[in-house]
Amino acid sequence: MKKELKQELFPRYRGVNLTGMFCTPDSQYADRIRRGYFVEQDFAEVAEWGFDFVRLPLTYKLFTTEKSPYELDGKKLELLDRAVQWAGKYHLHVNINLHRAPGYCVNMDVPDDPVLLYRDDEALEYFSNVWCTLAARYRGISNEKLTFDLLNEPSPNRFTLERYVLVMKKTVDAIHRIDPARFCMIDGWEWGDEPIEELGGLPLTGQSCRGYHPRELTHYLAFGFAKKIPAWPMLDRNGELYDHGRLDAHFRKWTEFSVRTGTPVHCGECGCINHTPREVMLAWANDFLGILQKYNIGFAWWTMHGIFGLYRTGDFTEVDRKLVEIMRKH
């Protein structure tokens, strides 16, 4: 019997992104949930729902001082320590991600850093040093409990692929000089959509894909995406059918890459905005998560709270139980 195609190199962790330290108070993305710290209740609820994974997208700016703007301050890192401890308390794997790093963020809503990661070697040194600080701080915690996700969603509008590969390789090398056993996730190319052959099989690394397909559905009315009310299946912006088969083909490509190159794969972000009609969202989520289950790829929903969150009914105070049920089923 022919062996079924599956990603089998990384555990099928399932869970949620927690965005308590996603941005600074002056960001346009700041809200009452993105407080600049995490709360224990969120970790407890993720576990209560039956999940085993939290991804923590961070801005490095919450951990620095005016005197040393590119160095992590040990006292401020105690807020992150507490989150790691809560993850352990509730038996959740914690994945630490730099969403805003020295010199780059996919959401450039505040003035860019004076150093540019996608161009300057000075920025690469700052970026690497941030991760070296975290590597030293969490050395000794097993990969079963904690992993790193080095940089959120590289944009081809900012990086060249060659530069991104260089940044990732040098940073992984720097981390492993301090903590030789630490596992690092690397976000795929083009905002996490495409696997990176040049980094395939890199020791103690995996690649993180995204589950925002088609964006006309998952990002309806956001960031300039089409204003036509989505359906599932639906026609994309080019008038071509986007259905279960096309969605399956996308993640089959990732799975084939994993098997061929020996690269662990996980879906670090997925989700759907609450502007999308709820029944459309639920139908899409059932198909999408079923495909990930088929290929044994884990996932982290974006997010718990807010317009992409699991708390998405009323004034964001009620959990969409049907969505959580679909996530648990798959």
pLDDT in tens, the chain (330 residues): 557 899 999 999 999 999 999 998 888 788 777 889 999 999 999 999 999 999 999 999 999 999 999 999 999 999 999 999 999 999 999 999 999 999 999 987 766 677 889 999 999 999 999 999 999 999 999 999 999 999 999 999 999 999 999 999 999 999 999 999 999 999 999 999 999 999 999 999 999 999 999 999 999 998 776 678 999 999 988 899 999 999 999 999 999 999 999 999 999 999 999 999 999 999 999 999 999 999 999 999 999 998 999 998 777 789 999 999 999 999
Q: 3-state class of 246 per DSSP?
A: helix
Count CB-CB contacts under 10 A for residue 201. Answer: 10
Cis peptide before 154 (omega within 30 of 0): no
Q: Are 7 and 297 in contact (CB under 8 A)?
A: yes
Write down the residue that tokens 């944009």 correspond to. Answer: 155
pTM of the full predicted structure?
0.96
Amino acid type, 84:
V
Cβ-contact 114, 130 below 8 angstroms: no
Paired strand residues for 126:
none
Token duo for residue 13: 């962790």
pLDDT of residue 43: 98
The answer to whether 305 and 274 are in contact (CB under 8 A) is: no
